[in-house]
């Protein structure tokens, strides 16, 4: 068997897990009114069937007044039946179920009806300060955690995890970077640990001796003055172990600083970035330890476990992008895995954006739609031509092929991947390039006929005679009407990312969105001096918060200058003429790169031909409107199921 350590069993108290792969608790926005939904059950079942050793059900509130409506709750007995349905479904399919108990402190503020509880006084404005939790409230919360643990036992969970990280209330008390109390709950580590340890004791008293207690904790605090050190965390873990904690789940990050980037680490953060911290905690405490953080490949998980650095591995987003990740790894079918690329577009960004109803995944649009997206074989063997081999085109082609249609995918260039392939040329984004190439290989193994260097023309359609044509030809760089844009020293973003010319001297990048900033980084890597100008009031407006942190930090390291509210009016041999604050000025430079976005490619002639011939014609992805890859793959997946 491949990956012997990853797929070896482990027993903790009287819970035996079939392997070392844990699906950690991740917020989904699937619950409604704090209750389990069928959507949440289906999502967990898919990962249990896919081989997950233990599914830890997402953050579950313990205190009735402070739980946003799209989070689960075990604050009252009325929530037990729904949780029992969830655990029964997980058990029925051979899995184990844990639940993560939590009080969210300032993280609940997204719901204006939820009570915000803080460790110590927190000024919000000159007029208002949120008072630190009273001793009466602390006692109440201890009881809330205890009662929630009792309900978790009644709901047939196999283990419980207490959340002691990420700015939530227990971390807020433990961390000297957040807790500024002057009573017996503040000051020394012993005082700051008093409330969290009381919670652990209370929870343990409500659990049978046979049931394991996990604890999620930050390895140390990032970007927080006087924050937790790893030495303090090691001491606290020793105390927690004495009080009945069996497993420590070592995380990183907080939501009040740039440390957020470690909480749901994007593509910019190295693989397994937190494992050495977990290994040190394990070595110095002797506790069973779970490591998490961008362990996206089975071989990496195996290596970490085989070296004895940790005992369990949290594999979260990798199981969002491919619920069969573990089954495929166990069978040695590594080339069939759909790998997470750490884009955070469908998972973390969805939790921040009110316009996205629940988490999903750029690589797996069926995430959160497991029931309705089960593939239904076609009853009609129609021939379908897909024009364009970017992410939208590949998604629709592969899904249609799996349903039994005859699919021919035509790509005008010599390689599949489209904009995703190009995105993978930007700094720190090699994984995207690899994912695009692997998707192309998976597509061809699935039986899709792929024709490269083949633009779709009327003549080709006459030859192939399809019943359906899908336009997924994507987008091309937008060429604004600016005087001087045809000058020799002017490039577009494709020129830079694809060809990586050595631009020495000064370069002005027009456009401060993601693409413009990646262009700026690419040029700065070769030593060029770069200024980015953006006509709106904000740089990186189109990035989710975790990627924005990492990209902006790198721009700072590279000494890239950024200017907002700055509009280019013309380009001359001397530089770029701009309007800023109502004044015209010249920014001298040697090179100019235009990176203000894309426009859909012209496909009007083919559309007219399809209409004239009575062919079914559809448009998806950037060919419809340039947007993020998340929307492109989602449209491909939806269309493929509707035909």
Reading the block at residue 48, the tokens are: 């249990």
Paired strand residues for 510: 533, 594
Reading the block at residue 98, the tokens are: 């844990």
Angle, alpha carbons 541-363-327 (nearest 5°): 145
| N-to-C CA span, the chain | 40
Nearest CA among 453, 412, 554, 432 for reference residue 497: 432
Residue 168 known to be catalytic: yes
Residue 581 dihedral angles phi and psi, to the nearest 5°: 55, 40
Conformation bin of residue 604: beta by default, left when phi > 0, alpha when psi is -120 to 50: alpha
- Give the helix, strand, coil percentages of the chain, each rounded to 5: 35, 20, 45
Total residues belonging to the chain: 643
- Calpha distance 479→325 (Å, rounded): 42
Residue 147 dihedral angles phi and psi, to the nearest 5°: -65, -35
CA distances in angstroms from 21 to 43, 305, 382, listed in the order given: 17, 10, 41
Burial of 473 (0-12, 13-18, 19+ CB in 10 A): buried
Residues 169, 229 contacting (CB under 8 angstroms): no
Give the torsion sign (CA, 340, 342, 347, 350).
negative
Reading the block at residue 522, the tokens are: 């690419």
CA distances in angstroms from 59 to 76, 249, 410, listed in the order given: 15, 14, 45
CA distances in angstroms from 41 to 86, 318, 370, 492, listed in the order given: 6, 19, 10, 47
Q: How many of the other CB atoms lie within 10 Å of CB of 153?
A: 15
Residue partners of 283: CB distance under 8 A and separation at least 6: none
Q: Determine which one of 71, 168, 297, 348 is catalytic.
A: 168
Residues 283, 305 contacting (CB under 8 angstroms): no
Q: Which residues are catalytic?
A: 168
């Amino acid at each position: 068997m491949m990956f012997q350590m990853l797929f070896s069993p482990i027993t903790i108290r009287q819970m035996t897990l079939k392997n070392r792969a844990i699906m950690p608790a991740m917020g989904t926005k699937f619950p409604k009114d704090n209750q389990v939904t069928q959507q949440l059950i289906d999502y967990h079942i898919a990962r249990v069937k896919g081989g997950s050793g233990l599914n830890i059900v997402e953050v579950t509130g313990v205190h009735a007044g402070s739980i946003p409506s799209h989070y689960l709750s075990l604050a009252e007995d009325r929530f037990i039946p729904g949780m029992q349905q969830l655990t029964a479904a997980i058990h029925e399919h051979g899995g184990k179920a844990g639940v993560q108990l939590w009080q969210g402190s300032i993280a609940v503020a997204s719901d204006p009806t939820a009570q915000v509880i803080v460790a110590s006084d927190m000024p919000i404005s000159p007029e208002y300060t949120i008072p630190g939790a009273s001793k009466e409230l602390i006692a109440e919360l201890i009881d809330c955690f205890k009662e929630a643990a009792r309900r978790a036992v009644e709901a047939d969970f196999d283990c419980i995890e207490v959340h002691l990280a990420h700015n939530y209330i227990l971390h807020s008390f433990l961390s000297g970077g957040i807790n500024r109390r002057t009573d017996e709950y503040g000051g020394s580590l012993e005082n700051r640990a008093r409330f969290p340890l009381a919670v652990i004791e209370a929870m343990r008293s409500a659990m049978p001796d046979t049931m394991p207690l996990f604890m999620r904790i930050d390895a140390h605090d990032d970007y927080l003055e006087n924050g937790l050190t790893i030495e303090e965390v090691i001491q606290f873990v020793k105390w927690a172990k004495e009080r009945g904690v069996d497993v420590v789940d070592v995380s990183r990050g907080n939501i009040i600083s740039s440390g957020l980037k470690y909480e749901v680490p994007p593509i910019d953060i190295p693989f397994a970035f937190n494992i050495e911290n977990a290994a040190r905690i394990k070595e110095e405490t002797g506790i069973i330890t779970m490591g998490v953080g961008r362990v996206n490949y089975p071989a990496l998980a195996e290596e970490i476990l085989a070296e004895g650095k940790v005992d369990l591995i949290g594999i979260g987003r990798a199981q969002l992008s491919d619920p069969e990740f573990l089954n495929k790894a166990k069978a040695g079918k590594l080339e069939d895995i759909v790998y997470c690329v750490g884009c955070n577009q469908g998972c973390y960004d969805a939790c921040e954006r009110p316009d996205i109803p629940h988490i999903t995944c750029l690589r797996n649009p069926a995430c959160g739609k497991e029931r309705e997206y089960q593939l239904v074989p076609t009853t009609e063997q129609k021939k379908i031509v897909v024009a364009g081999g970017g992410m939208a085109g590949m998604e629709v082609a592969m899904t249609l092929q799996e349903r039994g249609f005859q699919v021919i995918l035509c790509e005008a260039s010599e390689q599949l991947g489209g904009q995703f392939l190009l995105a993978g040329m930007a700094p720190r984004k090699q994984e995207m390039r690899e994912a695009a190439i692997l998707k192309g290989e998976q597509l061809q193994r699935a039986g899709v006929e792929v024709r490269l260097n083949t633009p779709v023309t009327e003549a080709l359609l006459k030859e192939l005679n399809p019943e359906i044509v899908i336009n997924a030809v994507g987008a091309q760089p937008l060429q604004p009407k600016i005087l001087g844009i045809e000058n020799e020293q002017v490039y577009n973003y494709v020129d830079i990312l694809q060809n990586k010319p050595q631009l020495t001297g000064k370069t002005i990048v027009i456009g401060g969105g993601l693409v413009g900033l990646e262009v700026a980084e690419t040029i700065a890597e070769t030593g060029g001096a770069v200024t980015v100008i953006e006509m709106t009031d904000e740089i990186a407006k189109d990035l989710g918060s975790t990627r924005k942190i990492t990209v902006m930090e790198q721009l700072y390291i590279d000494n890239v200058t950024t200017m907002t509210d700055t509009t280019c009016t013309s380009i001359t041999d001397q530089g770029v003429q701009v309007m800023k604050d109502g004044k015209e000025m010249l920014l001298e430079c040697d090179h100019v790169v235009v990176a203000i976005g894309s426009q859909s490619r012209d496909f009007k002639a083919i559309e007219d031909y399809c209409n004239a011939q009575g062919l079914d014609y559809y448009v998806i992805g950037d060919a419809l409107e340039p947007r993020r890859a998340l929307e492109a793959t989602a449209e491909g997946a939806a269309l493929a199921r509707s035909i």
